[in-house]
Structure 1
Amino acid sequence: MTETPAHTSLWPAPHASGPVFATVHVPGSKSVTNRALVLAALAAEPGWLRRPLRSRDTLLMAAALRAMGVGIEEGVGPDGSGEAWRVIPSGLRGPAAVDVGNAGTVMRFLPPVAALADGPVRFDGDPRSYERPLNGVIDALRVLGARIDDDNRGSLPMTVHGGGALDGGRVEIDASSSSQFVSALLLSAPRFNQGVEVRHVGGPLPSMPHIRMTVDMLRTVGAQVDTPESGGEPNVWRVTSGALLGRDLTVEPDLSNAQPFLAAALVTGGKVIVPDWPERTTQPGDRLREIFTLMGGSCELTEQGLEFTGSGSVHGIDVDLSEVGELTPGIAAVAALADSPSTLRGVAHLRLHETDRLAALTKEINELGGDVTETADGLHIRPRRLHGGIFHTYDDHRMATAGAIIGLAVPGVEIENVGTTAKTLPDFPDLWAGMLGN
């Protein structure tokens, strides 16, 4: 694991002098925004995307689709009700160059799209993107008829030689390192000549809610999808070839990005309201209501939104996070401040995320005086009295917000490169200061 350069500026994490009471408007979901952009780009007619997230990952997705010929116009919705993007599909084409940054959704969702383009599409990104596995998508696309030049690395950089169409059909993949391998194939499958049958053959699938999100959104735009939940075979998904509809879609708030704000109420014994929290959602972040309640808080869905209240006490937890791994950094930060030990299980795949999140959390919390040990598939956290110091982020947005949570309760914490939060949560420092009334 390589640390971020030491010259990156330090951000003094604000220390809470008392309970936090605030209403925080959380920006739209990255996961929903980027899936919606792909589906709209593949549709047979234009569509609207309302309240999209504008962050590094989503702007990289939009730029990549534009490079392949898709029209994406930024403005206000047809009724003047706030920011919206108009997505105008057209013939996908190369040559094109795609910068994925370090966005898993861009590097994995777009190679199947590129296989439908007429011409070559070159994929490149940040140095860390070279270390993130892509073999599940690359190998599957080759079986389905695509031509890809990756020098047999199974990772970036690579070129997809689009032929204007893709046969599709049946394919077996091991998606145990990332559920995005499954979502990537399903999202483009309606445009494959034969659709697709994806069969997962490997260890437990992480982040299943994200696959359910993909299926739900496909059905919203008219795709026919058979899943294990709808009576199909276990670990098999089938998408029928057919036209996708242009839709008028409103993006939900990013519930995973609500995590640090709910955690603020929990660790300070305060109350935070997140407006527009959906009653029904496929977002993994909805599990926060259950997990943070077990750790000492209480919550209620009201007309104002989700009201989350801390009790003044934070309890340890033993929890399987395999379906909601992205919540692990924030939960680990809260657990480091608890009154009893915690065990976080089922998240071995986090070693392959933006950074090795398990190693990073262990190192950074321990350097503030904590007692965290890695297990085969997670973390064991024994609370200790923490002290100030530098909390490194490794260019990982969720590491930055985890450090900010600890900083609420521990004076003198400085976050290295808090700007990395722009990946999914623009203006996080301002939102954080606003929550604290600063």
Structure 2
Amino acid sequence: MFGPFERAVAGRYLRARKGERFVSVIAIFSLVGIGLGVATLIIVMAVMNGFRADLMGRILGLNGDLSLYGVTRSITDYDDIAAEVRKVPGVTQATPLLEGQVLLSAGPYSSGGVVHGMTKQGLNDLKAISSNIIAGSLDQFEGDDAIAVGETLAERAGLGVGSQLTLVSPNGAATAFGTVPRVRAYHVVAIFDAGVNDYNAGYVFMPMSAAQIYFQKPKAVTQIQVMVQDADNVRPVTRAIQQALADPRIRVMDWTNSNNAFFGAVQVEQNVMFLILTLIILVAAFNVISSLIMMVKDKTVDIAVLRTMGATRGAIMRIFLMCGASVGVTGTAFGTLLGVVFCENIERIRQVMQRITGTNLFNPEVYYLEHLPAKLVWGQVIEVIVMALALSLLATLYPSWRAAKTDPVEALRHG
């Protein structure tokens, strides 16, 4: 498309001579603008992808991809149901769980919390907890006196392995003087870091038998947590479980129902950020238009000379198309490289910025996570590159057409 003549002239125009620096400076600003726009878009999309993937992995890793509930809020034959669910294709794990709300108390500290009663094997299978034990061990997670707590709760309540944590449940025994809350102290055998501040601060785990005694639900659980191979395609597994059980007493709810509003909001925010940041590239494309128009104005006499020497209108148009395309391609390549390198080192950059400023740039109590995630999706990166190149090319069309329409006679007469 571009011959040696067009490439030579376009290269000469891009290398401004003395007295023509202003046009060259505008072209450099256009290049930097496109580069920064592409880099910003890649970085923000990667952070949004990482935030969604990390948050989804942690929340679903703790709550399960789907759960089975009893219509009477209790499931008695849970072992048989869990065994039946495990036979469904796509299911990797089915864990009975007894959940209850309590008041957590240790010394002067007290706060609301949630108890999850699980078997020792079930808690070991819950990798979000068992793989992140920072003190103690799950080997002692048995009997009626053991409990595992989160790191944040342990710090706030001053707990360590062997410390006592008192649980108070409002659903106690009925007496002539009213309902007496159930109060029971448990020994901490393990401290975990789930990576989500809310879980570290308000969730505790105890053996299933101890939870059944405490909540007065002998041989019963409140739900069965299920993990699947592909959480993004959980709907077919949900339907398969419903068909396999065919039990009106069991209600199946997957994460797309229970957390759909939350993850949907994250997706909407990602789409809106994409549209907003695309405007940065669009503004840079307008800078390309202005720089090329000024270049055409500055090179009017040169264009006339080239036309009188035999250059066609198509050749003139290709020259200025190449000038604008060079700015767009170089800016896009620079922005892509900057964005990818930034994403690959984003956590190190955050730590350096925190040390320099002395502030916490990513508070886990606000953002749920304890590090800044970034996940590059190369399909999105390619979309950004194609969009930036397309906008840059479109920005060169009008100035190039104006240059090709230049009348050499009029240009030389007034030049």
Please confirm whether the aligned pair reaches a TM-score higher than 0.5, indicating the same fold: no
TM-score, reference length from structure 1? 0.28
Bigger-Rg structure (1/2): 2
